[in-house]
Amino acid sequence: MNKLGLIGKTLGHSWSKRWFEAMFAREGIDNFQYELYELPSLDDFRNWVFEQGLIGFNVTIPYKEAVIPHLDALNEAAAAIGAVNCVTREAGRLVGHNTDAPAFAETLQPLLQPWHTSSLILGTGGAAKAVAHALRELHIDSLMVSRTPEKHPGAISYLEACEAAAERFLIINTTPAGMAPNEALTPWPYTYRLGMKHLCYDLIYNPEETRFMTEAELCGAQVCNGLLMLERQAELSWMRFSELH
């Protein structure tokens, strides 16, 4: 049996196992399995991977950047982004990839309007880095927004983002604020800044409509959750995993 999985710290929100199992059943694939692995830390991580017999795995919060020192190599995109969400085991080497960036770009493009030329990225973690890379490829200017901008060169504060939203009509949430089971939270308290030109893309997919999306929609903004991105990054990951056995 070829073992795959998802590593993260808290995975109760994740639909990845459900997606892969449905795909295996649909395609009649019976020689792969996909499990969720909640890891409190990455201590002794390499030994753990080989002891588990994983041939590949996905990576989620908070390990998309932290996993990199434990890998043997990064492909070109992952190296440029500085974050990994997919790892393959190739001839005893752990190789990092990033399928988040192309998945985000592919699902964002059909929603873009001519006025979506600049953006605000809420968050500064691994997912934010993948989004920023995708936006550069699409020639869309972006600013990362942080609660501690002094720790992230080039990032701006949320108060600064509130002002910038008057001209930046694409806002992407890459933080876990609003993710189940904390649906009451929102990463964006400045609802009054939103209008009909805004596109608010929330990478969260559980719940399917976050508070951020609901409030943005009430202001006339276009909204999108992260479900299609999840499915596309999983498909792109599977393209790499399926070549390993």
Active site residues: 64
**CA–CA dist 7, 71 (Å, integer):** 14
**CA–CA dist 195, 42 (Å, integer):** 42
Query: How far is C-alpha 5 from the chain's CA centre?
Result: 16
Task: Count CA within 13 A, CB hemisphere, residue 127.
Answer: 24
**CA–CA dist 245, 240 (Å, integer):** 10
Cis check: omega of the bond before 181, within 30 degrees of 0? yes
Q: What is the DSSP string of 160-193?
A: HHHHHTTT--EEEE-S-TT-TT-TT--S---GGG
